[in-house]
Each structure stands twice: as C-alpha cells, then as structure tokens.
Amino acid sequence: MKKYVCEPCGYVYDPEVGDPDGGIAPGTAFEDLPEDWMCPLCGAGKDMFAAEE
C-alpha cells in the first residue's frame, strides 16, 4: 500500500500504521479513509495529499 504525503505540512499517512488518534486502524488504505478524514497535524483534507513516490 502506498504512503501519502500532506502537501501543506509534510505529514505522511502510512497505511501500515493508520491514524490511531483519529480512529483509523492499521492496515487501512488511503483510498478507504472516510471522505471527511483530515490531516492530524494541519487539518488539511484528503484532496491535499499526494501519493509518495
């Protein structure tokens, strides 16, 4: 599974880790995150993330 980077702040969403503080279980692909999920650091929406090369 690909990691995704928040373009405004640089936070990396790693599907192997998930977002425990946001209630996202490890193993959750970025595509499977709720549409209203936001960056835990800066609050940017999913549309502000880009796949990591």
- What is d(CA 8, CA 10) in angstroms, rounded to the nearest whole number? 6
Burial-class residue 13 by CB neighbours within 10 Å (0-12, 13-18, 19+).
Answer: buried
Asked if residue 9 belongs to a known ligand binding site, the reply is yes
39 assigned ligand-binding residue = yes
6 appears as a binding residue in the annotation = yes
Tell whether 2 is in a known binding site.
no
Structure tokens at 21: 């503080």
Annotated binding-site members for Fe cation: 6, 9, 39, 42
Annotated binding-site members: 6, 9, 39, 42
